[in-house]
Amino acid sequence: MRRALQAARDAASQGEVPVGAVVVRDGTVIATAANAPRRLHDPTAHAEICAIRAASARLGSDRLEGCDLWVTLEPCAMCAGAIAHARIARLYYGASDPKGGAVEHGPRFFAQPTCHHRPEIFSGIGEGEAAGLLRNFFAGRR
Amino acid sequence: MRRALQAARDAASQGEVPVGAVVVRDGTVIATAANAPRRLHDPTAHAEICAIRAASARLGSDRLEGCDLWVTLEPCAMCAGAIAHARIARLYYGASDPKGGAVEHGPRFFAQPTCHHRPEIFSGIGEGEAAGLLRNFFAGRR
C-alpha cells in the first residue's frame, strides 16, 4: 500500500485526483499506476484500470489469476467490473468512497448475484493517509 | 448499429465474443471497436471501452459530451461505469444480457443514486442480429 500511496501522490502532482494502484503476485510488484484520465485524455484511466492493463500486458494474459490489487480508494463500478474480469484474487483498498464507490456503496457490485468473480476483499488499509491525500487535493482546488 | 454489428462479426472472426461498439457525434462516426480482451491481453478491452478510449484520444478530452454510444450488447458494470465517466449523452444497445448486463440487470448501475451521469438509454436496437451472433459463437465453441 505504500507504493500505491506514492502513486496517488504522483497523480496529485500531475493535477489528477490522487488515487494509486499496484498489482502484486507472490510478493512481486507486477505493475504500479496513478490515476490519469485528464493527462491521458482517457475517462477509463483510473489507477486500477491502468495497473490491471499494465499487469495483463506484462504477463501476456487477460486474466490475472493469483494476483492481488492494492488501491488507495474504494473502486468504482468500472474498476470493480475490471477487477472481476481480470480474476483478481485479493482486493485491498484504503479509503471508502460513499460518492463513487461500488464495493460497499451504490451498486455493491461484488454482492450482486450476476457477479461472476468475487475477490477476497480487505478494506481500510492506509485509509487515513489515502483519505488525507484526497481531502488536501480537493481543498486545494476550492 | 450496422457498423457495431460489423465490428461484432470482426470480433467473432478473431475468436473473441462478438460484441461491437461505435461512438458517434452529430452523425459522424468518431470511433468503432470490436471486443478484444484475448487478442490484446487486456481484460478491460470490451468493445465499449475500446471505442470510448479511441474516441477520447481522437477528441483530446476525457469527456465525450454530446457523443452517443451504439453497442450490440447490454453493457456490463465496467462499461456502464466508463459510459458515465465519459459523459456519453445517449446509449443505444442491442441484445439484453441477463448474465453480465448492468443496465437492466444485476447492479442496474444507471439507476443507482450514486450514479453521477445517466445517459438517455434506448435498448433492443438490432437485438435479433446481435443475439444471433452471440448464440452462433457460443454454439460453435461447444
pLDDT digits (tens, 9 = 90+) for B18-36: 999 999 999 999 999 999 9
Is A115 annotated among the ligand-binding residues? no
CA distance B106 to B28: 33
pLDDT digits (tens, 9 = 90+) for B47-106: 999 999 999 999 999 999 999 999 999 999 999 999 999 999 999 999 999 999 999 999
CB atoms within 10 A of CB A142: 4
Residue among B45, B82, B114 minimizing CB distance to A43: B82
Residue A60: CB partners within 8 Å, gap ≥ 6?
B41
pLDDT digits (tens, 9 = 90+) for A51-66: 999 999 999 999 999 9
Residue among B40, B44, B86 minimizing CB distance to A85: B44
Length of chain A: 142
Q: Is B130 helix (H, G, I), strand (E, B) or coil?
A: helix
Q: Which of B48, B65, B74, B129 is catalytic?
A: B48
User: What is the predicted pLDDT for the residue at A142?
Assistant: 72
pTM: 0.96
What is the complex's ipTM, to 2 decimals? Answer: 0.95
Determine whether the interchain pair A44/B49 forms a contact, defined as Cβ–Cβ distance below 8 Å.
Answer: yes
From A62's Cα to the closest Cα of chain B, the distance in A is: 4
Determine whether the interchain pair A81/B63 forms a contact, defined as Cβ–Cβ distance below 8 Å.
Answer: no
